[in-house]
């Protein structure tokens, strides 16, 4: 019988999908809850929060859940408290506190964290599986059948504290993608994220849509997994470790679109994948080379089950 797991994170796809992906790969039954403590509680230690601050958990639970999987900084604060209350807690990403406050911590190599209860992966955890890709390909391949081949998927992130994807950067990237369409005769499918600046979407609408590109307008079904399933190559913006990791779990070459800004952590992550030939920089032209999927999610899930005797 599959065990239930409370999955907690802020409402960002990159965090949510890592935690859900781990739970699914481990054969657990996940129930995701958004965590978003308001002012002033988000500025105070989680053990001081009243029940009302435990947003998404229906108040501070009287009985701690047996198994908790969290991802992100706010989830780490909550997870540490829940473990003291008796839960078994797995945290994904560097918790920015002593990892011994959790039963397991799962980080990527570029997080530079080690310990007896720390599992290290090459890429971020995710929900991309061969089965999901096959299901999505059956849905989306007919919708993209009219587009030229090779088919290039463009995954747009957004500005954060380290990188900038504003109107100027979006315009430069849109122009580069348009040049690739003209020079290499590729088909293009583009999906923004919730973080993508509307000015960036407008730049792509102006530059690549007139050339025949397909651009998701945010309505209807989310095409994200469909794009990953159908693409012959993927262009992913540099700001998102999760998007690059998800694209690297497919059979498509991954081209990283560099952005204004800097992050030592993300630079190290991309450099590791470049060193093994999994990703290359996007230079405005199609670049195809033999690759194999990189996916450490299943291995991390198996190690989780072994260490917790699930």
Predicted pLDDT at 84: 86
Instruction: Say if residues 304 and 259 touch (Cβ distance below 8 Å).
Output: no
For the chain, what are the domain ranges? 4-126+298-308, 130-281
Instruction: Give the pair of three-digit tokens for residue 215.
Output: 């651009």
Instruction: Give the pair of three-digit tokens for residue 126.
Output: 């995710």
Measured CA to CA, the distance from residue 193 to residue 155 in angstroms comes to: 8
Instruction: Say if residues 100 and 83 touch (Cβ distance below 8 Å).
Output: no
pTM summary value: 0.90
Closest CA to 177 of 159, 151, 138: 151
State in words which class domain 4-126+298-308 has: alpha beta
Residue 273's alpha-carbon distances to 7, 181, 194, 251, 253, in angstroms, are: 28, 26, 26, 14, 11
Task: State the 10-residue block means of pLDDT for the chain, 310 residues long.
Answer: 86 92 96 79 65 51 79 89 90 94 94 93 96 97 97 97 96 98 98 96 98 95 97 97 97 98 94 96 98 96 94
Question: 4-126+298-308 and 130-281: same fold?
Answer: yes
Q: Are strands 151-155 and 233-237 parallel, antiparallel or unpaired?
A: parallel
38-74 burial: b if 16+ Cβ within 10 Å, else e: eeebbeeebeebeeebbbbbeebeeebbebbbbbbbb
Predicted pLDDT at 1: 56
Secondary structure (DSSP) of the chain: -PPEEEEEE-S-HHHHHHHHHHHHHTT-EEEEEE----TTGGGS-GGG--GGGSTTTTSS-SS--SEEEEESHHHHHHHHHHHHTT-EEEEES--SS-GGGSSEEEEEGGG----TTEEEESS------HHHHHHHHHHHTGGGTTS-SSEEEEE-----SSB--SHHHHHHHHHHHHHHHHHH--EEEEE--TTS-HHHHHHHHHHTGGGT-EE--S-SS--HHHHHHH-SEEEEETT-HHHHHHHHTSSS-EEEE--SB--HHHHHHHHHHHHTTSEEE--SS-----------HHHHHHHHHHHHT-
**What values do phi and psi take at 129, rounded to 5?**
-130, 160
State in words which class domain 130-281 has: alpha beta
Measured CA to CA, the distance from residue 45 to residue 30 in angstroms comes to: 26
């Amino acid at each position: 019988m599959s065990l239930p797991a409370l999955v907690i994170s802020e409402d960002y796809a990159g965090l949510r999908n890592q935690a859900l992906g781990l739970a699914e790969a481990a054969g657990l039954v996940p129930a995701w809850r958004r965590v978003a403590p308001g002012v002033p509680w988000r500025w105070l230690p989680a053990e001081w929060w009243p029940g009302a601050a435990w947003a998404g958990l229906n108040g501070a639970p009287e009985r701690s859940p047996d198994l908790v999987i969290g991802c992100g900084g706010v989830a780490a604060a909550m997870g540490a408290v829940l473990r003291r209350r008796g839960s078994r807690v797995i945290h994904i990403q560097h918790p920015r506190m002593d990892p011994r406050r959790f039963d397991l911590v799962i980080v990527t190599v570029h997080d530079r964290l080690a310990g007896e209860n720390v599992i290290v992966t090459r890429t971020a955890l995710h929900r991309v599986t061969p089965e999901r890709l096959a299901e999505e390909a059956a849905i989306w391949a007919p919708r993209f059948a009219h587009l030229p081949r090779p088919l290039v998927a463009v995954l747009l992130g957004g500005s954060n504290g380290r990188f900038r994807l504003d109107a100027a950067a979006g315009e430069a990237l849109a122009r580069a993608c348009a040049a690739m369409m003209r020079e290499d005769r590729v088909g293009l499918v583009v999906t923004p994220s919730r973080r993508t600046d509307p000015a960036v979407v407008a730049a792509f609408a102006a530059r690549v849509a007139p050339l025949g590109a397909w651009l998701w307008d945010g309505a209807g079904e989310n095409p994200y997994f469909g794009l990953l399933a159908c693409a012959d190559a993927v262009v992913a913006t540099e700001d998102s470790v999760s998007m690059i990791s998800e694209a690297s779990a497919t059979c498509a070459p991954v081209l990283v679109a560099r952005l204004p800004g800097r992050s030592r952590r993300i630079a190290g992550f991309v450099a590791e994948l470049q060193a093994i030939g999994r990703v290359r920089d996007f230079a405005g032209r199609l670049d195809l080379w033999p690759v194999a999927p990189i996916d450490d999610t299943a291995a991390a899930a198996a190690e989780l089950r072994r260490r917790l005797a699930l």
